[in-house]
Amino acid sequence: MNALRQQEQELVAGKEQIVDILNRIEEEKIKIRETIELFKTKDGELREFLSQHERETEENQVDKQIEPKTALFKQYLNLYAEESALDDAIYYLAEALRNDVINIQVFLRNVRSLARKKFMVRALMNKVREQTNKCEVK
């Protein structure tokens, strides 16, 4: 009889533990559902924000913001970029000469060619600058 009572007490205690575990599971389910709903609303807000932001980005591209307004300014910007590229090329030729990658004849031939191009670019830049000054004065 004692064994039956002890077994009954164990079963009742086990039942209480199972009921407690089931209650915690239900509470967790409720929390998970609330979290899922929160994520769904945040996901919707985020998607709406991203779609709106993409539209704004398409309308206000950075390249369009810094693009020169007139052909003269665009030409000047391109000439400036070309001059900078020529400066870089001359620098790297000097580095190659210093590191004995090229000999002096190759260096001089290429530097003369690049310097000639740079001279022409600078002359054209000066003409463009004069033209832009004339346009601004009017």
Burial category of 17 from C-beta neighbours within 10 Å (exposed 0-12, middle 13-18, buried 19 and up): exposed
User: Tokens 């398409």 identify what position?
Assistant: 58
Q: What is the pLDDT of residue 78?
A: 93
Q: Smallest Cα–Cα separation from 88: which of 50, 80, 76?
A: 80
Is the predicted pLDDT of residue 107 greater than 90, yes or no?
A: yes
Taking only the tens place, the pLDDT of each residue in 58-104 is: 656 666 667 777 888 899 999 999 999 999 999 999 999 999 999 99
Using CA atoms, how far apart are residues 71 and 1, in angstroms rounded to an integer? 106
CA atoms within 13 Å, Cβ hemisphere of 34: 6
Which residues does 77 contact at the CB level (< 8 Å), separation at least 6?
68
- Would you say the pTM of this structure is higher than 0.85? no
DSSP E strands, 40-134: none
